[in-house]
Amino acid sequence: MNTITKNIQELAVSLLRDKTVDIVIGFKSGTVPMSSVPFVAKTTEQARTFIWDTHCRLNLANYLTGRKEKIGIIAKGCDSRNIANHIIENKISREQLHIIGVPCSGMVDKVKIASEFTEEIIEYTEQPDSFVVKTASQTKTLLKKDYLRANCSTCMHPNPVIYDQLAADRVTEPLIENQFADVNRIEALSRDEKWQHFDDLLQDCIRCYACRNACPLCYCPTCFVDESDPQWVGKGTDTTDIRTFHFLRAYHCAGRCTDCGACVEACPMDINVRDFTRKLNKDVFDMYGWEAGLDIKNRPPLDTFNPDDPDEFIK
């Protein structure tokens, strides 16, 4: 058992034993290699099944919306920023939460790992900086730093921004020169190439809405694509309808997205949904110097009004 897992279990057990919280939300092991399962512990026994590894890719803030209990929650950097978002947007109160922060050294990209092998992966074991992958005919040791998810490799906030306790020592926060290099590459494309890029990106979308449902920002009681009166968008596989869904969802996330990558993780078709949200993150950063969820005092720029706003149109 790694140290972070051990610390998370101990902290969760004592929170439940002392009745500081009613439940603790964390991860338990999955049933297939390179997976984990969001899990709620109500007993100390259940809290002893919590794990922490580089497959805890989903964002647990997604499980907070509308809950009434006193909640313990395990939060890496991005989860904590989405918890901050939830607090700002009144989806949960700070007093309701006991946050066990986990300074994060990044999650690995299971699709990238799988693409290294022609056979299916039958076993995966983790060491501090590397992992061992087994297929039917070979065993390979690979370095974590070479297989980080794209969003983890540009992350500058791996430490939780709000927490009550930490399950490990803080990690060094990297300074990334150009954190939007991927967006710049798309911006530099010609009009036709851009069209081609996004056409290709969405070609496989099956509208299962896993991206939306894995996203902590998407908590609307009824999403616009599910409205029937009026019906804003068709429900079939028409490319215009598929694009409308992705474009509008991305705009709803502008200034709120923490680039946690849960959307990409959840997509069964391996679509890099972040190509949309990243562009809006960049625009909001360029225009307002804003990164979402860094504290619980300031509201996102598209959610506030300032009487001395420099733009005329809004006055």
Partner 1 sequence: MEIIKIKKSDWAGGIDKSRKTYHLFGPVKHKNHHIFRQLENNIYPDMEYMSSVLSPKSVLFPQSQKILVTSADASGKACHIFTPPEQDHTPRAVIGIRPCDAKAVQLVKLNFDTKEYQDPYWCSAFEATTFVGLAVNTPSVLDFSTSAGSGPFAQEGLDVLLVDCKDHYLAKILSQKGKEFLNTAGFNEKEDPKAADQVIQQMKISAEKAICSVIQTQHLKKKTVLELYEAPFWEDIAFSCISCGTCAYVCPTCWCFDIQDETQGKTAVRFRNWDTCMPALFTRHSSGHNPRGEKIQRVRQRFMHKLKYFDDKYDQGIMCIGCGRCVEKCPVNIDIRDICNLMNAYKPEKESDAGEIKGEIK
Q: Point out which span in 31-39, 159-167, 185-193, 281-289 binds partner 1 (CB under 8 A).
A: 31-39
Residues 151, 254, 91, 219, Cα dihedral to 10°: -80
Report which of 259, 219, 289, 252 is spatially closest to residue 79, judged by C-alpha positions.
259
Q: Is 167:102 a contact under the CB 8 Å cutoff?
A: yes
Q: Rounded to an integer, what distance in angstroms lies between the CA atom of residue 309 and that of residue 315?
A: 8
Judged by beta carbon, residue 3 or residue 43, the one nearer partner 1 is: 43
Q: Rounded to an integer, what distance in angstroms lies between the CA atom of residue 29 and that of residue 36?
A: 5
∠ CA 235-38-49, nearest 5°, is: 160
Q: Is 88:300 a contact under the CB 8 Å cutoff?
A: yes
Judged by beta carbon, residue 37 or residue 302, the one nearer partner 1 is: 37
Task: Give the shortest CB-231-to-partner 1 separation in angstroms.
Answer: 9
Task: Give the shortest CB-5-to-partner 1 separation in angstroms.
Answer: 17
Q: Rounded to an integer, what distance in angstroms lies between the CA atom of residue 164 and that of residue 291?
A: 22
> Could you say whether residue 242 binds partner 1 (CB under 8 A)?
no
Choosing from 269, 286, 295, 303, the residue that interacts with partner 1 (CB under 8 A) is 269
How many amino acids of this chain bind partner 1 (CB under 8 A)?
Answer: 39
Tokens of 308: 């001395």
Q: Point out which span in 25-33, 73-81, 253-261, 274-282 binds partner 1 (CB under 8 A).
A: 25-33
List binders of partner 1 among 123-152 (CB under 8 A).
136
Choosing from 116, 145, 268, 298, the residue that interacts with partner 1 (CB under 8 A) is 268
> Could you say whether residue 69 binds partner 1 (CB under 8 A)?
no
What is the sign, positive or negative, of the torsion defined by CA atoms of 236, 237, 240, 242?
A: positive
List binders of partner 1 among 222-241 (CB under 8 A).
226, 234-238
Choosing from 62, 80, 105, 151, the residue that interacts with partner 1 (CB under 8 A) is 62
Indicate the DSSP class of residue 243: H
List binders of partner 1 among 143-202 (CB under 8 A).
none
Cβ neighbourhood burial of 198 (10 Å; 0-12, 13-18, 19+): middle
Q: Rounded to an integer, what distance in angstroms lies between the CA atom of residue 148 and that of residue 128?
A: 14
Residue 30 — φ and ψ, nearest 5°?
A: -90, 175
> Could you say whether residue 285 binds partner 1 (CB under 8 A)?
no
Q: What is the CA radius of gyration of the chain?
A: 20
Binding marks (x or -) toward partner 1, 77..116, rule CB under 8 A? ----------------------------------x--xx-
Choosing from 5, 22, 38, 290, the residue that interacts with partner 1 (CB under 8 A) is 38
Give residues in contact with partner 1 (CB under 8 A).
30-32, 35-40, 58, 62-63, 111, 114-115, 120, 122, 136, 204, 206-210, 212-214, 226, 234-238, 265-270
